[in-house]
Chains A and B, each alone.
Chain A
Amino acid sequence: MRSQIKVLHAGRTIALRSKVSTVSAHQIPLSFRLQQRRNITTDEKPLPESEQPKGPNQDQLPHVSEEAATAGKITGEGGPELDQSSPVQEVLKRSEKSQEKAPKIMQDEFKASSPKGSRSYSTSTPLRAQAMINSESAEVQNQGHIFGLPELPLPSTSHLKHRYDPVVHQVTNLLMQDGKLSKAQRNMAMILERLRTAAPPSSDPRHPLIPGAPPTNHLPLNPILYLTLAIDSVAPLLRIRSQKGAAGGGVALQIPIPLGLRQRRRTAVMWILDAVAKKRTKGSGRTMFAHKVADELIAIVEGRSAVWDRRGGVHRLGVAARANLAFGNRRR
Chain B
Amino acid sequence: MRGSQNRSFTSTNSSRAIAAPPIDLTQDPPSNPQNARVIPASPSYFTGRPDSTDNYLDLLALLRRYQTLPTVAPAQAPRVAWRTVTQYRLLVGEPVRASKYHKVIEVLQRLNRIHPAVMPSPLKQAMEIYKRDIDPYAVSKRPNIIDADGRAYGVGRRKSSSAKVYLVQGEGEVLVNGKSINNAFGRIHDRESALWALKATGRMDKYNVWALVSGGGSTGQAEAITLGAAKALMVFEPALKPALRRGQFSSEFQSQ
Q: Do chains A and B touch in the complex (CB under 8 A)?
A: yes
Interface residues of A (CB under 8 A from B): 37-40, 42, 72-73, 76-79, 143-150, 152-154, 158-161, 163, 182, 185
A40 touches B70 (CB 8 A): yes
For the complex formed, measure the closest distance between the CB of B218 and the CB atoms of chain A, giving whole angstroms.
9
- Give bound CA distance, A305 to B104, whole Å: 77
B201 touches A150 (CB 8 A): yes
Helix, strand, loop or mixed for chain A's interface?
Answer: loop
A152 touches B192 (CB 8 A): no
Please indicate the chain B residues that have their CB under 8 angstroms from the CB of A154 in the complex: 200, 243, 246-247
- Give bound CA distance, A116 to B72, whole Å: 31
Residue B68 at the chain A interface, CB threshold 8 Å: yes
Q: A144-B237, A145-B237, A147-B206 are in contact. Are A160 and B73 (CB under 8 A)?
A: no
For the complex formed, measure the closest distance between the CB of A123 and the CB atoms of chain B, giving whole angstroms.
17
Please indicate the chain B residues that have their CB under 8 angstroms from the CB of A163 in the complex: 192
- Give bound CA distance, A76 to B66, whole Å: 8
Interface residues of B (CB under 8 A from A): 67-68, 70-73, 76, 115, 169, 187, 189, 192-193, 196, 199-203, 206, 223, 226, 236-240, 242-243, 246-249
A149 touches B240 (CB 8 A): yes
The residue in chain B whose Cβ has the minimal distance to the Cβ of A161 is B249
B238 touches A182 (CB 8 A): no
For the complex formed, measure the closest distance between the CB of B77 and the CB atoms of chain A, giving whole angstroms.
10
B72 touches A42 (CB 8 A): yes
Please indicate the chain B residues that have their CB under 8 angstroms from the CB of A152 in the complex: 242-243, 246
B70 touches A73 (CB 8 A): yes
Please indicate the chain A residues that have their CB under 8 angstroms from the CB of B249 in the complex: 159-161
Please indicate the chain A residues that have their CB under 8 angstroms from the CB of B240 in the complex: 145, 149-150
Pick from B68, B73, B193: contact of A78, CB below 8 A: B68
Please indicate the chain A residues that have their CB under 8 angstroms from the CB of B202 in the complex: 147-148, 150
B73 touches A159 (CB 8 A): no
